[in-house]
């Protein structure tokens, strides 16, 4: 089975933009997605500088990828509300769901849509727990997995960064396939909003 390494950050707008392409990978039975959290933002409030960049880049992401940012989210960005950002706790939730029922990719998507479309505060563990339950996790089992994921997260993020240096790649999202003992960077950015062409490309690259 082909392994695809997905270097991601739940609060990366371009990762949100790549959702449809990642869905295609996730729906294939002939490959396994290995999740590598990047740890882009550690429990901080959105700065004025970051907010200004988001206002510029979000419309570009939407235009290029077809992923739409919801009104509740954009209203938060335009307001003076203090917005807490935490790539660590969100990645922790993703890895917890991956360990419970191999639905880490689905949890990532749920977090992205909660943040970027519904305007929810995904830095709050209660919000993340609700998303996990919606994806079929038992609350107690999720809490155990979430706590264990916390103890492993720094190591996971460190390993992700080490692999990215080793493989000479940078930025999120990055998708790398292990094929016949070799590595191939999947050119996802050339296929935003072109799902059918992406499927055709994968059939060629992954064989």
Q: What is the CATH number of the domain that holds 37?
A: 3.40.30.10
Q: Before 173, cis peptide (omega within 30)? A: yes
- The residue range of the domain holding 10 is 2-205
Q: Model confidence over 64-81: pLDDT tens digits?
A: 999 999 999 999 999 989
Sign of the C-alpha dihedral, residues 77, 21, 64, 164? Answer: positive
Angle in degrees, CA 137, 138, 140, rounded to 5: 130
Mean predicted lDDT score pLDDT of the chain: 97
Residue 62 has pLDDT above 90, yes or no: yes
Residues 139 and 133 sit within 8 Å (Cβ to Cβ) = yes
Q: How many helices (H) and strands (E) does the chain have?
A: 9, 6
For residue 183, the tally of other CB atoms under 10 A from its CB is: 12
Over range 81-103, report the average pLDDT: 97
C-alpha span between 109 and 38 (Å, rounded): 16
Question: What is the per-residue pLDDT for 127?
Answer: 99
Question: What is the per-residue pLDDT for 181?
Answer: 85
If you count them, how many residues does the chain have?
207
Q: How far is CA 12 from the centre of its chain?
A: 7
**First and final CA of the chain: distance in angstroms?**
10
* Paired tokens of 108: 């990532």
Residue 93 has pLDDT above 90, yes or no: yes
Over range 138-149, report the average pLDDT: 97
Residue 61's Cβ-side half-sphere holds a number of Cα atoms within 13 Å equal to 20
Residue 174's Cβ-side half-sphere holds a number of Cα atoms within 13 Å equal to 19
C-alpha span between 180 and 103 (Å, rounded): 26
Residue 180 has pLDDT above 90, yes or no: no
Q: Which helix (H) or strand (E) holds 35?
A: strand 31-37
Number of domains in the chain: 1
Which band of pLDDT confidence, cut at 50, 70 and 90, is reported for residue 119? very high
Do the strands 174-179 and 2-8 form a parallel or antiparallel pair, or are they unpaired?
antiparallel
């Amino acid at each position: 089975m082909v392994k695809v390494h997905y270097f991601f950050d739940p609060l990366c707008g371009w990762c949100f933009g790549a959702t449809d392409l990642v869905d295609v990978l996730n729906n294939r039975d002939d490959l396994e997605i290995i999740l590598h959290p990047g740890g882009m933002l550690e429990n901080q409030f959105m700065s004025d500088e970051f907010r200004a960049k988001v206002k510029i880049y979000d419309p570009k992401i939407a235009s290029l990828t077809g992923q739409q940012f919801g009104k509740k989210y954009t209203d938060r960005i335009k307001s003076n509300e203090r917005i807490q950002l935490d790539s660590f706790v969100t990645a922790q939730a993703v890895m917890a769901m991956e360990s419970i029922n191999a639905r880490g990719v689905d949890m990532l998507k749920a977090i992205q849509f909660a943040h970027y479309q519904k305007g929810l505060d995904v830095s709050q563990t209660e919000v993340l727990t609700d998303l996990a339950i919606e994806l079929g996790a038992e609350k107690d089992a999720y809490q155990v997995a979430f706590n264990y994921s916390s103890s492993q997260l720094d190591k996971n993020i460190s390993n992700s960064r080490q692999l990215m240096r080793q493989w000479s790649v940078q930025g999120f999202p990055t998708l790398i396939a292990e094929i016949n003992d070799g590595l191939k960077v999947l050119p996802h950015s050339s296929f935003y909003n072109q799902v059918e062409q992406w499927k055709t490309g994968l059939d060629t690259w992954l064989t």
